[in-house]
């Protein structure tokens, strides 16, 4: 048993020394460590260069897009200014046209009113002449009627001597008719 115990202790000693002497990861020399660190730095540098390249490309695209957007914005502003100028010109032309139309309508209405009043005056003159003619004709007709009455009266007065025996009030009746 002693031997066995020695063997067990020897194996344990060997195991402990082997575990104590070698760490879990291989031990690197200083040169190996610097080499690994340098590789890592180079990989990071390459990744950063790629990222920087992507950022520059994106930045270039963004700058180009902003430049195009600015150009389009300038074009829109120029178009808006041109439209505003055209609007001002059109408003002035419309205002002038409206003023001209109002002046023409006013002049036309004034001319129409003048012509209408002249036509009304002419019509009134014609009506007055017609009235005068009618009055003159009426007077002539009345004169003719009176002359006819007088003629009738004279005719009937000449007959009165004949009629008075038959109709005693006949002469008074005829004179009443003729002179009314």
pLDDT computed for residue 180 by the predictor: 47
In sequence order, the 6+-apart residues with CB closer than 8 A to the CB of 160 are 170, 171
15 compared with 24, residue with greater pLDDT:
15
Q: What integer is the mean pLDDT of 15-44?
A: 75
Q: How confident is the model at residue 148 (pLDDT cuts 50, 70, 90)?
A: confident
Residue with the two structure tokens 């009134």: 124
CA distance 24 to 5: 29
Lowest mean pLDDT among 25-29, 145-149, 173-177: 173-177
- Decide: pTM greater than 0.75: no
């Amino acid at each position: 048993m002693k031997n066995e115990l020695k063997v067990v202790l020897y194996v344990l000693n060997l195991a402990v020394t082997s575990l104590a002497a070698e760490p879990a990861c291989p031990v690197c020399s200083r040169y190996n460590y610097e080499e690994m660190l340098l590789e890592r730095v180079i990989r990071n540098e390459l990744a950063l260069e790629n990222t920087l390249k992507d950022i520059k490309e994106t930045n270039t695209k963004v700058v180009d897009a902003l430049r195009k957007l600015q150009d389009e914005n300038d074009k829109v502003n120029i178009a808006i200014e041109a439209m505003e100028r055209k609007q001002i010109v059109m408003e002035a032309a419309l205002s002038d046209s409206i003023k001209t139309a109002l002046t023409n309508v006013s002049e036309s209405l004034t001319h129409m009113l003048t012509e209408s009043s002249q036509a009304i005056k002419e019509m009134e003159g014609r009506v007055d002449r017609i009235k005068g003619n009618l009055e003159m004709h009426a007077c002539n007709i009345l004169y003719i009627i009176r002359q006819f009455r007088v003629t009738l009266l004279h005719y009937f007065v000449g007959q009165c001597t004949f009629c008075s025996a038959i109709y005693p009030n006949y002469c008074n009746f005829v004179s009443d008719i003729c002179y009314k």
